[in-house]
Structure 1
């Protein structure tokens, strides 16, 4: 799924339908409230700080899990 609107992307992640790469400034409030969890990326090192987002307290879908494994592995 491709979305070009940051708010729409956050809604998809919050509903548990996927994971996303977004800049910190776009998700600061959701992180502070504990709605999203930011995972550090192992490689490649991005030129700016981005986080892979998943819904707090939820198991990712199979597709999101595959993306997580691919992006987070060292």
Structure 2
């Protein structure tokens, strides 16, 4: 019983510093994103919307005209 109580106490006592460390890492990440990532496109001619990839166009030109019969 004393071991379980000691383990519970150690868990709760370690929780505060762990949460502060996690918050510090999150804050450091947010600050680095704010400082180093651009807020808009770097070139004035860059598209604001993503363009459609022409490779996404499905074509049946290469399809076999005769179905396989079993």
Same fold (TM over 0.5): no
Say which one has the larger Rg: 2
Name the TM-score, length of structure 1 as normaliser. Answer: 0.18
Per the normalisation by structure 2, the TM-score is: 0.19
Structure 1 or 2: larger helix share?
Answer: 2
Which one has more relative contact order, counting CA pairs under 8 Å at least 6 apart? 1
